[in-house]
Amino acid sequence: MQIRPILAALRHHRLATLLIALEIALACAVLCNACFLIANRIGNMRIVSGVDENSLALVVVTGFEDTQGPDVNARIIAGLHGIAGVQSVSVINTVPFGQQVDSAGINKDRAGQIQGGQIDFYQGGPGTVQALGMKLVEGVWPQAADYLPLHDYFADDSSTVISKALAAHLWPGADPLGKEFWCDRFHFRVIGVVDHLAIAQPGSRGTNTAEWSAFVPTMPGRFLNGTYLVRADPSDIPRIVRDAPAVIAKVAPDVVFDHANSNTVSDLRHNYFERDRAMVGMLLGVILALMLVTALGIVGLASFWVQQRRRQIGIRRAVGATRGDILRYFLTENFLIVTGGILLGIVFALALNLVLVTQYEVPRLPLYYLPVAAVVLWTLGQLAVLAPALRAAAVPPVVATRTV
């Protein structure tokens, strides 16, 4: 196929060529960045929480004084144990995808000079680690003596089990076991490391901090009450959550059942990512609409060109060009225009990404998106131009002999 005559013809249609190329360029920029945003959101939604989500539920009650805490704990634990299928009930402050409860900045020294970043603390009573089903990769689980009552926020000296991600952040390359950190005046010593433990609201403080969390064994009572972790077989869990309000109304009639925060952990996860799903849907809609409009634009202009050049096509056919030649001419012409658009689009895509990086805390666009987008746009262009090109190929040579 000779490219020179095509370029010569395009020079006569500079404006229309430029418009299609510009449209392809903008489509390329939006396509790359929208796909990248979708990939980011889906990455967030895939986070490993580190707990047995399908076997766990959270029950939250409020409306009592802290001094009544021990009594409320005892009644509700007994009540929830009475529901058929419940394997264990323990007191906890929150779970991944639940409310953020104890989140604070920590220091790597007692004086508070070396900061360790903001982490989430999970506080749970005896039985919590077994119920959560976290996977220990180093060290030991807390023993009975490690569960201490709280002073306001924490016990003065606690043992803690932290996530592998937090250990790698605080002491890169070093053995985290036996290491210490401080939060205000409270002191923590690491006795174990689990492979995963997401913070309560993963992604809310950036993607790299999504697993900066520590489990602190705590004795339930005045300062740890009202939130209960229920473990049961996954098939029993939805029924248990349904039955819990009635049971609690019986054993503790004065407390307020928190319907918004009591749910199975898998449902909490589902609800937590609802906005991300909506955003992914919106971005997919934009991509589809954009591809549609771009394709329609190509169809419209290509049809116009074909009609405008009917005589010339007829002449070419009359002097020996085959249908295949005419078809290839229009396909190649489209390929050239789209290629020009993609080259411009790569610049646009990188510029748009730069804006997103500065404005919306989006990471840099990986470069492999660009060739993928190019292939998609080439395919789109060829498909869009196919119908007009076939119509052009169908022009009979006899047209050359007619005046109009």
Partner 1 sequence: MFGYYLDLAFRGLRRNRMLTALMVLAIALGIGASMTTLTVLHVLSGDPLPGRSASIYYPQVDPQDISKYVPGAEPPEQVAWIDGMNLLNAKRATRQALMTGGMVPLQPTQSSIDPFRAMALFTTKDFFPMFGLPFKYGNAWGDAEDAGKAHIVVISSDLNDKLFGGKNSVGGTLRLQGADFRIIGVLGDWHPNPHFYDPYMGNYASDEDIFVPLTTSRATHMGHEGSVDCWGNGNGGPEDLERSQCVWLQFWVQLDDAASVSEYQAFLVHYSEEQHALGRFTRAPNVRLRSMMQWLAFQKVVPSDARLQTWLALGFLVVCLINTVGLMLAKFMRRANELGVRRALGASRRALFAQLLIEAGTIGFAGGALGLLLSLFGLWCVRQQPAEYAPLAHMDTPMLLATFALAIGASLVAGVLPAWRACHIPPALQLKAN
The amino acid sitting at 59 is V
Q: Give 295 or 370: the residue with its C-beta nearer to partner 1.
A: 295
Q: Give 78 or 387: the residue with its C-beta nearer to partner 1.
A: 387
Q: Give 22 or 336: the residue with its C-beta nearer to partner 1.
A: 22
Q: Say if residues 124 and 91 touch (Cβ distance below 8 Å).
A: yes
Contact call for residue 27 and partner 1 (CB under 8 A): yes
Residue in 338, 381, 346, 389 with CA at minimum distance from that of residue 19: 338
Q: Say if residues 58 and 138 touch (Cβ distance below 8 Å).
A: no
Identify the residue among 58, 72, 200, 301 touching partner 1 (CB under 8 A): 301
The whole-angstrom distance between residue 342's C-alpha and the CA centroid of its chain comes to 28
Contact call for residue 42 and partner 1 (CB under 8 A): no
Q: Give 108 or 168: the residue with its C-beta nearer to partner 1.
A: 108
Q: How far is the CB of 283 from partner 1 (least distance, A)?
A: 7
Contact call for residue 351 and partner 1 (CB under 8 A): no
Segment lying near partner 1 (by CB under 8 A), choices 49-57, 116-124, 300-308, 375-383: 300-308
Contact call for residue 63 and partner 1 (CB under 8 A): yes
Contact call for residue 266 and partner 1 (CB under 8 A): no
Q: Give 48 or 286: the residue with its C-beta nearer to partner 1.
A: 286
Q: Give 212 or 305: the residue with its C-beta nearer to partner 1.
A: 305
Contact call for residue 65 and partner 1 (CB under 8 A): yes
CB under 8 A, 24+ apart: contacts of 356-362: 356/33, 356/37, 361/206, 362/36, 362/37, 362/40
CB under 8 A, 24+ apart: contacts of 361-368: 361/206, 362/36, 362/37, 362/40, 363/40, 363/207, 365/32, 365/33, 365/36, 366/36
Identify the residue among 139, 238, 297, 397 touching partner 1 (CB under 8 A): 297
Two tokens at 42? 């889906």
Q: Give 7 or 304: the residue with its C-beta nearer to partner 1.
A: 304
Dihedrals phi, psi of 255, to nearest 5 degrees: -80, 160
Contact call for residue 350 and partner 1 (CB under 8 A): no
Distance CA 319, CA 315 (A): 6
CA dihedral of 200, 202, 203, 208, whole degrees rounded to 10: 120
Q: Say if residues 284 and 88 touch (Cβ distance below 8 Å).
A: no
Contact call for residue 204 and partner 1 (CB under 8 A): no
Task: Give the residues lining the site for partner 1 (CB under 8 A).
Answer: 15-16, 19-20, 22-23, 26-27, 29-30, 34, 37, 62-65, 152-153, 184-185, 245, 249, 254-259, 271, 274-275, 278-279, 282-283, 286, 289-290, 292-294, 296-297, 299-301, 303-304, 307-308, 356, 359-360, 404
